[in-house]
Structure formats: C-alpha cells, structure tokens
Structure 1
Amino acid sequence: GIAKGLFKNTHLAVIHLRYNGIGDQGAKALAATLMQNSTLTEVDVARNRIGLDGTEALMKSMTHNQTLTHLDLQRNNISDKGGLAVGLALKINTSLTHLDLEGCRVGDIGTSAIFENLGSAYYAMTQSHHGQVRRRRMPIINNRIRFLNLGGNEIGEEGSTHAGNALTINQGLTTLDLSNNSISDGGAAAISEAIKVNTTLLELSLAGNHINEEGGRAVGEGMTANSTLVALELQRNRVPWVFETEGFTSNLTVRSFQSDLNLERVNVWMGYDDYATGYRQDISEARERGDVERPLEIFVPMSRALLSVHCMANAIGAEPVGTVQSTLGEYLNQSTCLLDLNLSRNLLRDDHLRVLCLTSLTLLDLSHNHIGNVGADFIFNSLSKQRGGGVLREIDL
C-alpha cells in the first residue's frame, strides 16, 4: 500500500520503514516505486528481513533512480550475493552518498565487489592520434559515496585488502566503518598503506577486529603520513600500547595523539574488561605482564588540543595515585580543548579523582569504576569551578 502511494506522491522526501518486516515482497514493491519516483532522497528499510531477492530488486532500482542519496539496509540478510548486486549498482548510480550495510552478513566476495566500484583500475588498449596502440590504466571510481557502514559483517583479509586498494584511488569517502568484522594484520596493513596517500577520509573505524601488534604497527606507520583523519577507532583489538620501530614510536594509539596530526577524537579500548570485573584475581598476573602500567603511558605524548578521549576498560587505576597524577592528571590539567572524557570500566577509586582536573569537560563517563560517595562529592564540587567555557552537560557514574 505504501509503495503504491509513493507512485503518486510528489512531495515526500524521507521515509523510515525499519522494523516492519516488509521482506522481499515489500522490498520489490518499494524498488518498483524507486524506479520512477523522483522526490525521495532518504529511505530506511533496516531490520526488515530482506533477503537476496529484495536486495537485488532495490539495487536494480538504484541503477535507474538518480535522486536517492541515503539508503539504510542495516541488519538485513544481504549476504555475498547481495553484495555483488550492491557493487553493480555503485558502478552506475550517480546520486547515492550514504549507504548503511551494517550487520548484513556480507563477506569477502561481496565486500570486494563493493570496493572494486569505489576505486579500482583496469587496463584497456587505446590508440593514440599517431596510430600507436598502448595499454593504459583506466580507473573505475565512484567518488559520490561519502558514508559507508560495513560494520558487523564477515569481512576478512581479502575484503579489507580490496578496501585498502579502493582507498588509494577513491577521493569521495569521508566516513568508513569496518568495525566488528574479522580483519587481521594483513587487512590492517593494506588499509594503512592506503591512508598514507588518501586525503579525504575523515573517520575510520577498525574497532572489534582481530588486529594484533603487526597490524597496529602498520596502522601507526600509516598515520605518520596522514594529516586528514580526525577520528579513528581501534578499540577491542589486541594492539599493544607502545612499541618502537626504527627509533620512533609508531604505534597508532600513541602517534594519534601527537600534535603534528589533526585527530580530534580517538577511541582506544584494549579490552581489559576482565581486569575491571575480576581484578582481585587478575591484577597481579597483569602487573607481571606489564599490561596494567601501559594504558597511562598514552597520556605522556598526547596532543593538548584533542577534543575527545575514550580509554575504556584499560585497568586504569591499578597504579599508585602518584602515577595517575603524573600522567592522566597532568594531561587534564594542561589540556586546552578536551570536552569529552570516557574512562568507564576501569579501576578508578575516590582517591584517584582528587588528582584529576575535570573542570573543562562537557561529557564525562566514569561508569563501572569503584567510585563511592567521596568521589561523587568531589566531582560535583568541581562543577562550580569549571573553566574555559566548559559546562558539564552529561555525566555517567
């Protein structure tokens, strides 16, 4: 019924249909509408049990429709075959700028097809005006897509390698979410090579993947050559905090805070949640490995102009109060721009809060720590001393 109504409607620009269970039949009806509709700019059909048939119909409509800019297909059963259809649509469509495919069971095959049409190259035989036949590298680039969410899919090394290849050519994407996939060190390295030369990407999420020390080192080296990224997410990987390569610190979680980069927001969640929930048993073993001391090292080279810092679940607070004061405390005291601080799921206690300057913040998350009434009183007393235009608008204890 809605699809039929849209045939005649010449005013509606945005339609949200998520959680309606329209399935493949509903998606096909909507696709038929999009073939002819010239007013809709945003369509949200997330979580609607759309499978391959519905996806293929919608993507076919995208090869004809030239007005739709936002399409949300989150949490549908698109799969790799649906990813192939998406790739074909991106090759032809000239209007879509925002595409959300989070949690759609897209694997390496579908992902590769998508990124091949966002930036790849083929070789063609061309003839010059002198009659000479030459083999020329011809790029295939869709520079119109600005936002692409592929989080929560089944992307591994092959798909992430294609993502890296695309990013070396593509000059349109500004936000790319590859979180919660199966990207390992090889895929991280491919993406890192791309961010050395990419000048348009502003936000990149690789959170919740399988990136270890080697991949972390590669990402760090990529960041040394990049001056445009403003937000990077690496939480829930297994990247060590600090390591040295050829005499300089190249780990992303340290390099990203240095003042010669343009990052405004960085999330680094090491995943030490087990320490925060069962620290009495685990803390001595963690100290022997050196893991507990590492999180605070991040605050030593951190840029004073950073706007947001998220360091959740890192066992911060296991150290003596003096160590917290000389690292995190000193940073907060000198910071000129920090507005958003998230230290949730750590081991902070009341006595730690006394050495932290919290007077410039607008957002503060200290939930899931070990803060009692004394610490809470200190925080609220600090509100009367806020400086630098800081006005705390949201607090989570």
Structure 2
Amino acid sequence: MLHEHPFCKSDTALFLDTRHHLPGFEEHMSLSDFIEANREHLLTDWAEYASQICSNERALSVSELRNSGGELLNQIAADMRTAQSAAQQRAKSRGEEGHPESGFSQSAVKHADARLEQGFEINDVIAEFRALRASVLRRWENTSPDGQPAFQEMIRFNEAIDQALTESAEHYAQRRNRIQDLFAGVLAHDLRSPLNAIANSSELLLREENLSSPGIRATANIQRGTARMIRMIGDLMVFARARLHEELPVDLVHENIGRICSDAADEVRASYPHASIDVRLTGDLDGFWDGARMCQLVVNLLVNAVQHGSDQVTVEASGHGDTASISVSNTGNPIPSRAIPTLFDPLKRTRPSPGHCGTAAGMGLGLYICRSIARAHNGNIGVDSTEQRTTFKVQVPRYRNGK
C-alpha cells in the first residue's frame, strides 16, 4: 500500500504534534529562514510524495528524489531574500522575469532533467510542486504564534514556486519534444531502405514477360503506394529536421521551373491515375534552385489539391525579372477562415462540417514542408481560398549564377 502523505490531506491538525519540534516555533521567523532551517524535513516530505507519483517501473530511492530538490529549495529561499521592485513583480506575474543563466533557472532545469530521466510525466512534475507549496506553507503556519503568516512573504514564496514550476515544466516539455523529434527523424531515415527495396522489386516484377494482368495491376498498385510512402518519409525527415532547428539544406543548381512542375505533375498522375492536372508555363523559367526540393514542394501542393479538391487541378509557373512564381489551384469547398492562420503549422488539420468534403476536409504535414522549402530558398508561400477556387502561390528568387 502507498504511504499516505500528510500534505495530501486538508486537516492541519496532522502537523500539530510536530510543531513544537520545528525550528522557529518559539519565535516566529521569516519564511525564507524557515525553509533553510527545515530543509531536511521538507526534502523528506517532497521525496516521499514524489515516490508515490513516479513510474512504478522504476524504484527510486528517497536520496535520488531528494537530490534535485535541495538546490531548488535553496534558490527559492535566496530569491525570497532578494529585493524586488514593483516592475520586477509584474514581470514575474507575466512569466518574463526568468534568466536562463541564473542559479534559480538552472536549478529548475536540473530538476526537470532529473524527473524526465526518472520516468515522471509532466502532470507528476506539476503535482510535485503543488505538494511542496502546500507542505511548506502548512508547516510554517503552525510555527506562527497567531497562525497567520506574513502576507507579503507568502506572495514571494508563491511567486518563486510558480516561476520554478514554469521554467521546470517548460524545459521538461522542450526536452520531451526533442526526444520525440529525434525518434521521428531516425524512424524516417531507417524506413527508406526497406521502401527502396520494395520499389526496386516492383520495378523488376513489371519487366517480367509472363506476369499476368492481375499481377501487373497488383504490382502497379505496389509501386504507387510505395511512391506515396517514400514522399511521406521525405516529408517526415524535413519535419524532424526543422523541429530540431536544423537548417534545411538546399543545393542550388541551374534548373527550369517549368520542367520541375511538369515532372511533379507526371509523378502525381502516376499515383492518382484519375487526376486531371493541367500545366501552364509562361515567361522565363530558368534559374538556380534545388530541383529535388522544389519538385517535392510542387508534388505536395498537387497531392493536396487532388485529395481535397474536385475536378480540374491547375499548376502554373511563370518567371518575370528576378522572381519565379508557382501556383496550384483547384475547385472545391473553401478552406475555413479560422484555419488560415495555422494552415502551414505542422500537424494542423481543419474539421469541416458533416457531409462536406474537398479542400476543407483538412491539411496535414505537406503544407508545412512546402513552407520550409520555400523559406530555404528565401521565398514565401500563401493561400487564397474562395467559394470558387483555392490557390496556393509560391514565390522564390530566381538566383542568377547560383547567388
């Protein structure tokens, strides 16, 4: 059975039998002094509670759970003794006061790292701070002759706890997200080899002279499915790289943006045989771009248009002056206005009304990849969606001589 910890209860009488044994009972002391004088008692309380909420798969000792809390308690007491102006107090209330290099912030970060490695969930970390707050204030209240702690000291203590919680939880979330992004990147990288093997095998099968008609159709389906999966893996790798704040590499060589759009249209037609894609080319379409990346951008936009639009899909490329433009448009339900601000954010999807389909049916990772590629070329991407037509437009510099 789990130990029932006292600060999980609301009855302060649980502490009355210990009040005469706590430093500060005979003569009321400041809360910061009380924390330092009762540091060992408070750390034991904290560790006992933490042992109840941590992962059952990891049996952590009290000393392991105490280690990250001791320095944090010291920093909280020190913060409470530091003079604070009204402006600094307002900044704290808005979460603006933290300094990443300060001892206080470093203690909160160390605590987050320790709890992440010890198998805590973010809700456990928050509950742990909440329990520490309750334990300190209740123990301190019982040392006060009149039972009423100084109001301003309580404010300073709560500010310190809230600041430590904010910084610890924020760092915890950042670390956890990075771990997930690394996993996504490794997964995408490792999936490429088996998918390439499937693609090569299906290509060999289609060259077999004695392959039956059903076999040809099945192999063609395998090819199309594999091509789509390879594109998805490519998108996932770009996504992971961007999330890890790595610059998307581009290799600028002489290309023709018209040929890139035509090749992209052929690739999408191979995966969607019934798609009707019209390619329109005007102006000077030569320049310096990363052809593979730009083709990936156009493919993503075309797949999005085919999946969520209706009837004819049109891709237009034009070049004028130092800029080249690519537009992909389709008919269908318009994108809801509420979805436009986050349309290019990763993993955002809109939810249409029941019975609706078309463009409003939702967007996925592809548009985020398109924006990443456009930005890597120092370009931009936008969307215009009306009842008649939805159009995504990309503009990129032409880059003469690769500069």
Q: TM-score range by the shorter chain?
A: under 0.3
Is the radius of gyration larger for structure 1 or structure 2?
A: 2
More helix by share: 2
Q: What TM-score does the superposition give when structure 2 sets the normalisation length?
A: 0.27
Give the TM-score taking structure 1 as reference length: 0.27
Q: Larger relative CO (CA 8 A, sep 6+): 1 or 2? A: 2
